[in-house]
Amino acid sequence: MDQQVKQIKVWDVPVRLFHWSLVLGFVLAYVSAEVGILDAHVLIGYFLIGLLVFRVLWGFIGTQYSRFHSFIFSPTETMDYVRAIRAGHPAHYYGHNPAGALMVFGLLALLAAIFASGLVTLAVIDFEGPLLFLANQVSDETSYFFRHAHDFFVDVALLMIPLHLLGVISGSIQHKENLARSMVTGMKKMVMPDSANQ
């Protein structure tokens, strides 16, 4: 049967800008911390916090596929999707699929934990920032706990990011579409009429 290939707009400009600014910001935050330029690190940190706050708002008021409720799936649907991946015939989703959605929520939560622990570290170790009032309310031990928590959350992110990329690559192969390019152009292909699109 003849297939007609159309393009459908999935990722709006704010989501794409958010994603690639986040990637760049994450790299810059990491490098600035490693080389010890704290002023730059904190500035980039504030920028990333702004990005995350924006993305959370956009998850409620943005366009169809950027809204959180478009990618909240039940545990049953998620398990069915994972089983279908293993069987080699997962359903196609225009927005995040159930496995991708889990990773997205995990990454967003982890970023929130990195930012919160970074802000507390800034207050209790470097005596700066909006949470400075915490400085004389915590012991040295607690201060270093937050400092280590910040490091720990970054390490977890360094494990999750390769898994995120693995998901993007395997999803691209299984559905014969370039998901990374879609995050640049915003478009996905809609194959009609006989593919199982959702």
Interface contacts to ligand HEM, rule CB under 6 A: 15, 18-19, 22-23, 26, 29-30, 33, 38, 41-42, 45-46, 48-49, 55, 96, 100, 104, 107-108, 114-115, 118-119, 121-122, 125-126, 150-151, 154, 161, 164-165, 168, 179-180, 183
| Min CB(188)–ligand HEM separation in Å | 8
| Min CB(98)–ligand HEM separation in Å | 10
Strand partners, 188: 8
| Min CB(2)–ligand HEM separation in Å | 27
Tokens of 194: 């006989």
Which among 107, 103, 111, 95 has a CA at the least distance from the CA of 29?
Answer: 111
Q: Which is nearer to ligand HEM, 23 or 132 (CB)?
A: 23
Sign, CA torsion 159/29/170/86: positive
3-state secondary structure of 75: helix
Residue 37 makes CB contacts below 8 A (sequence gap 6+) with none
| Min CB(97)–ligand HEM separation in Å | 6
Which phi and psi (to 5°) does residue 71 adopt?
-135, 35
Q: Which is nearer to ligand HEM, 1 or 37 (CB)?
A: 37
